[in-house]
Amino acid sequence: MTFSHARRRLHLAAALDRRSVRDADEYAADARLAERGALDFVTLGDGPAAPDALAVLSRVAPGTRRVGLVPTVTTTRAEPFRVQAAVATLDRVSRGRAGWRIEVSTTEGEARLLCHQGSALSVGDASALPRPPQGHPVRVVDATDRPARAVAARYADVALVRAVLPAQAAAARDELRASAAAHGRDPDALRILAALDVDLGDGECAADPCHGGGPRPTPRGPLYRGGPIGLAELIAAWHRDGTVDGFHVTPVDPRRDLERLVNGTVSLLQHRGLFRTFYPGSTLRDHLDLARPANGCAPARGVS
């Protein structure tokens, strides 16, 4: 395949999720590896059997300098103002590199798990905490399901879509951009990344030929199985054609696949001039070419 230079900046991110790992130092090592490849950000999931993603990435922050840190923080298990304060604190300790991956309940059964009783909730004033460096930490939403897609179009800075074919991803992108515009947003202020599980255990072998070298459907979502070179070709093709702004990759084998992603796939994209070799800015919004939002709580200035 011949790589061509794209005018739009390519964005790449990776998940750090590891089963049964509780040592924050291991997550820090993975984050530094991602930073060595100049990835935009890393994510860490949350759940009953997983370590506290926000706490882990707060521990990772001092050991990294540029890579964005995006934990999943579920508001069904914490008061909204506590989530706001915690994510804003991560933004401060990381000097503007924090994001927040928002999980959207898509079924009534999920919503019932909250089990909250109360007549009202009132927040009477703006937060007493200083405004975080980015203004608002970057909001990331998995926009594959329809309810989550509506939330992403209205509020997200980064939307993740799952698709096995470029046409599917392009359709989701067009829908998200149109919906964002309908909500009064600039569609160009929304980054849309294809979410993809990757199994790079085949080394330099070609991608699974049963699906034309592209992702194949699985119960977990799209899966790419092949080598780093084939993955680089897939990323370059989907980005070159304007299908997505980039990829969020979840390694099947975290230790092996993240190393092959950075040292193989990313290195090849950098060599071809398709992905940056250094961070041009210091904040996650800088990496994603997103403007710092205005302060909605600032007092209005008089007009002369």
Listed by start position, the domains of the chain span 11-106+132-287
Choose the most confident range, by mean pLDDT, from 80-84, 111-115, 254-258, 295-299: 254-258
The beta-carbon contacts of 276-279 under 8 Å, at least 24 apart in sequence, are: 276/9, 276/38, 277/38, 278/38, 279/38, 279/66
The answer, yes or no, to whether residue 162 has pLDDT greater than 60, is yes
pLDDT of residue 299: 54
pLDDT of residue 75: 74
pLDDT of residue 202: 76
> How does the average pLDDT of the chain come out, rounded?
87
Domain 11-106+132-287, CATH homologous superfamily name and number? Luciferase-like domain (3.20.20.30)
Tokens 């975290």 sit at which residue? 254
The answer, yes or no, to whether residue 302 has pLDDT greater than 70, is no
The answer, yes or no, to whether residue 109 has pLDDT greater than 80, is no
Choose the most confident range, by mean pLDDT, from 28-32, 119-123, 204-208, 298-302: 28-32
pLDDT of residue 4: 39
Find the angle CA(193)-CA(190)-CA(285) to the nearest 5 degrees. 90
The answer, yes or no, to whether residue 211 has pLDDT greater than 80, is no
Phi-psi region of 184 (alpha: psi -120 to 50; beta: other; left: phi over 0): left
Tokens 């909730």 sit at which residue? 121
Rounded percentage of the chain residues whose pLDDT exceeds 70: 82
Q: Which residue has the higher pLDDT, 165 or 255?
A: 165
At a CB cut-off of 8 Å and minimum separation 6, what does 99 contact?
A: 41, 43, 68, 69, 70, 71, 137, 138, 139, 140, 157, 158, 284
